[in-house]
Structure 1
């Protein structure tokens, strides 16, 4: 592993947040599964393709990419040791042997130039300390004509989990959930800024399309409320409140989520950008 420049994210994902995601990986996959097929279809992975899954977490999308390219290989790269341990265990249990999981910073990892046919990311590309440098570095790891495909959240107000959490204003000190251009969940929410960022990083054929999917957040409203309040944003808010206030918040969030109960559990809509681009097939003219 080389030098980690994204030290804030390294600390976060090797602390309680990374442990939470590793421990609840099945639940997070139930939240985000609806984006897997659009992401992998957009990347065009097949046959003997070599895939980089940067910010792979516990490796679900890495394993899916490996299955789509049975004669190829998928590398899952992430900062989080707890999540990578989970990724390796799941790959072994599922018999997916054309994958490798490595701890490292996607912005500085020593890729061999032109190694990969595709680079993918499901909900991880928003946290780079220097996005332009990171995407330029990842681009050089792609072969000429290689594809970048990523999923990142669009406007916060179009995401049901944000609406649920903002329903607690007046009980908990709920602020905003990030701004475009600032490292965090919604740093890539402005599609024009995303196009400009990837163009500056050397990509061509850039497309940003809206995609939506429902995710399952819990068995029922109470279970989903407990899960949401145990996530990083939820813990941050609850830690600032006393016990009576936390109880009020839990009750209010449960009531909000009752409207989203279905026979299959609590379903919330997520709205994201499906971003695709290519490494140029020919070097730019001098």
Structure 2
């Protein structure tokens, strides 16, 4: 690490949360990978591009970007050492030689100035403690005319996942789930996104609602087990009596049942796709 990082986020992504994502990389890709086409189409990565992937996690988007920029390269940056180790191993296994990975906080990482043609992020930007600082730092790393494209979560209300989480919350002790998921939906307000990007120096911001299928498991029990291992949910369950935790996971299993079809639990995922330009 070359710079100060947000301590709470650093602990989470280098502790249980990061290890869970790294150990279950294929499952998280099944949840989020359906949005890759939306993101890459919006990013319009050229064959000679230098691409920055912010909050790259296990490196799935970084590898796709590197393949698109086959005469250029892609750099993935993330706080999580376990996920970066997984990203490097997957890139090596797949023979993606023009993808590299660095541990860092996008809010303060010393990116080379005006070095990248494109910046992308798949559900990484919601976790910034200081979004204004992060996007200003990303803007400095982009050359004039460079494109920014990222995905952020829409609100949980009215979404399939929101229905599942509401079913779990209904059997939890009062207040147990308060605030859980707030960080993940911190960029759910398009006006806030526009304000932050404008303040960071970006122009031409466009925000579009996009949907994609998310596969949560092979069956409702499998999907509930995976959800109950996800960091924010696990944080709740660790504070409960075992019987209460079991009831919450059973409620999740029941809530997943309507979404089981064609050999998997399939939810409709919702997101905002934002694009902007570095003048």
Q: TM-score range by the shorter chain?
A: over 0.9
Q: Please list the CA deviations of residues 80-100 of structure 1 after superposition, one character each: whole Å capped at 9, or x if unmatched.
A: 000000000000000000011
Find the aligned partners of 1:174 and 1:128 in 2 and give their Cα distance: 21
1:178 Cα deviation (Å)?
4.5
TM-score by length of 2: 0.96
Corresponding position of 2:222:
223
Q: How many residues align?
A: 276
Corresponding position of 1:174:
177
8 Å Cα contact 1:107-1:135 kept in structure 2: yes
Q: Please list the CA deviations of residues 86-136 of structure 1 after superposition, one character each: whole Å capped at 9, or x if unmatched.
A: 000000000000011111111111111110000000011011121111101
8 Å Cα contact 1:166-1:174 kept in structure 2: no
Corresponding position of 1:193:
192
Find the aligned partners of 1:69 and 1:58 in 2 and give their Cα distance: 19
Q: Please list the CA deviations of residues 194-224 of structure 1 after superposition, one character each: whole Å capped at 9, or x if unmatched.
A: 1011001100010111011110000000000
1:69 Cα deviation (Å)?
1.0
The runs of 5 or more residues in structure 1 that have no matched partner are 281-286
1:152 Cα deviation (Å)?
0.3
Give the secondary-structure state (helix, strand or coil) at the position aligned to 1:205. strand
Larger displacement relative to structure 2 (170-179 or 21-30)? 170-179
Find the aligned partners of 1:9 and 1:203 in 2 and give their Cα distance: 26
Matches within 5 A, 1:87-126: 87-126=87-126
TM-score by length of 1: 0.93
8 Å Cα contact 1:208-1:273 kept in structure 2: yes
Find the aligned partners of 2:151 and 2:143 in 1 and give their Cα distance: 21
Find the aligned partners of 1:7 and 1:171 in 2 and give their Cα distance: 32
Find the aligned partners of 2:159 and 2:242 in 1 and give their Cα distance: 28
Find the aligned partners of 1:77 and 1:94 in 2 and give their Cα distance: 19
Corresponding position of 2:74:
74
Give the secondary-structure state (helix, strand or coil) at the position aligned to 2:149. strand
1:158 Cα deviation (Å)?
3.8
Q: Please list the CA deviations of residues 21-72 of structure 1 after superposition, one character each: whole Å capped at 9, or x if unmatched.
A: 0000000000011110110111110211000001100100000000001100
Corresponding position of 1:144:
144
Find the aligned partners of 1:39 and 1:83 in 2 and give their Cα distance: 21
1:156 Cα deviation (Å)?
1.4
Q: Please list the CA deviations of residues 136-163 of structure 1 after superposition, one character each: whole Å capped at 9, or x if unmatched.
A: 1101111110000000001111432232
8 Å Cα contact 1:150-1:274 kept in structure 2: yes
Find the aligned partners of 1:89 and 1:48 in 2 and give their Cα distance: 24
Corresponding position of 1:257:
256
Give the secondary-structure state (helix, strand or coil) at the position aligned to 2:248. helix
Find the aligned partners of 2:111 and 2:41 in 1 and give their Cα distance: 24
Report the aligned-residue RMSD.
1.2
Corresponding position of 1:268:
267
Corresponding position of 1:157:
157
8 Å Cα contact 2:181-2:232 kept in structure 1: no
Give the secondary-structure state (helix, strand or coil) at the position aligned to 1:167. helix
Q: Please list the CA deviations of residues 163-209 of structure 1 after superposition, one character each: whole Å capped at 9, or x if unmatched.
A: 21211234213325445xxxx10110100111011001100010111
Corresponding position of 1:33:
33
